[in-house]
Amino acid sequence: MAVGVFDSGLGGLTVLDALQRRLPDVPFVYFGDNAHTPYGTRDAEDIFHLTCAGVTRLWDEGCDLVILACNTASAAALRRMQETWVPQDKRVLGVFVPLIEALTERQWGDNSPPREVAVKHVALFATPATVQSRAFQRELAFRAIGVDVEAQPCGGLVDAIEQGDMILAEALVHSHVEALHRRMPRPQAAVLGCTHYPLMEDAFRAALGPDVAVYSQPDRVAASLDDYLTRRPDMRGPGTDSAYLTTGDPIAVGQKATLFLRRKLPFRAA
Ligand code: DGL
């Protein structure tokens, strides 16, 4: 009954943490492609092949359902994977839709035509590859009309977080928010469109100020998976054990993961 959770590195742990709190009886197998992080500066072809390799590894662990806890992979590779690559008895789900449903006041699976929503000015903070894909705007346009989105590619931020340099990460958050403010002085909502960014959520909130509603993914993705598994219990794979896999150095990755989640995660080589 295991479910796979994929990310380019440590960011997906923010989603994993929320999943484990919401679904304590489900074994999750985490795969961090730390040897190839960041994905956000790679091209779509590269992201597609790396993501397929990671997801294949999770299938080998008995996970028939894999959550791409990575916006960059969800934006740059997921559609192609679903259309050309995922076998019929497996599922790969992304992290965009639960967040956009929250932003546009929709229940899961509400496929009614796009309509006006309360929020009109949205700041999107994401990796360069996610911004370039325009996947967020595409998914939003299916659900809402008249929403102005200003996207800020946050170059360097994932690298700083992966290296555990939180002082640099905080400085980068401030400079990216400043850059966004030059183009959109008063966003109503800000979307943290990269699963690494919840680790810097306090810095984003401080830089954005109290009037901006900050939308972050982990709890929304967890609620949405809970709902999905209730409808599709057959998608729990045959795996029985939780595991933490990395393509990087398991000791170094485990130490940073412990720092971020404040508990021990026994990473091993993928
Ligand atoms: N955490 C990922 C995301 O949500 C990937 C970041 C990266 O590797 O650049 O986009």
- CA–CA separation, 109 vs 93, rounded Å? 14
Specify the pTM: 0.94
* Neighbour-count burial for 47-78, b at 16+ CB within 10 Å, e otherwise: bbebbbebbebbbebbbbbbbbbbbbbbbbbb
Over the stretch 223-247, which tens digit does the pLDDT of each residue have?
A: 999 999 999 988 887 878 899 999 9
Which mutation among 6, 36, 194 tests ligand 1's pocket best, with the greatest number of atoms within 8 A of CB?
194
195 lines ligand 1 (CB under 6 A): yes
Write down the pLDDT at residue 1.
Answer: 73
- Ligand 1 centroid to Cα of residue 150, in Å, is 19
Beta strands in the chain, from DSSP E residues, in sequence order: 3-7, 28-32, 65-68, 91-93, 115-116, 121-126, 144-145, 148-153, 189-192, 213-215, 243-246, 267-269
> Which residue has 């990473």 as its token pair?
267
Question: Which H helix or E strand runs over 84?
Answer: helix 78-84
Which mutation among 158, 161, 199, 247 tests ligand 1's pocket best, with the greatest number of atoms within 8 A of CB?
158
The better pLDDT of the pair 110, 217 is held by 217
Tell me the backbone φ, ψ of residue 220, rounded to 5 degrees.
-70, -40
* Per-residue confidence band for 86, with pLDDT thresholds at 50, 70 and 90: very high
Known catalytic residue: 52? no
Over the stretch 119-168, which tens digit does the pLDDT of each residue have?
A: 999 999 999 999 999 999 999 999 999 999 999 999 999 999 999 999 99
| CATH numbers and ranges of domains, the chain | 3-94+218-269 (3.40.50.1860), 97-215 (3.40.50.1860)
In 3D, which of 24, 30, 25, 22 has the Cα closest to residue 4?
Answer: 30
> Which residue has 């958050």 as its token pair?
173
- CA–CA separation, 12 vs 8, rounded Å? 8
Known catalytic residue: 194? yes
- CA–CA separation, 23 vs 44, rounded Å? 32
- Ligand 1 centroid to Cα of residue 11, in Å, is 7
40 lines ligand 1 (CB under 6 A): yes
Over the stretch 159-205, which tens digit does the pLDDT of each residue have?
A: 999 999 999 999 999 999 999 999 999 999 999 999 999 999 999 99
> What integer is the mean pLDDT of 23-32?
96
Tell me the backbone φ, ψ of residue 109, rounded to 5 degrees.
75, 10
Q: Is pLDDT at 63 greater than 90 in this prediction?
A: yes
* Per-residue confidence band for 219, with pLDDT thresholds at 50, 70 and 90: very high
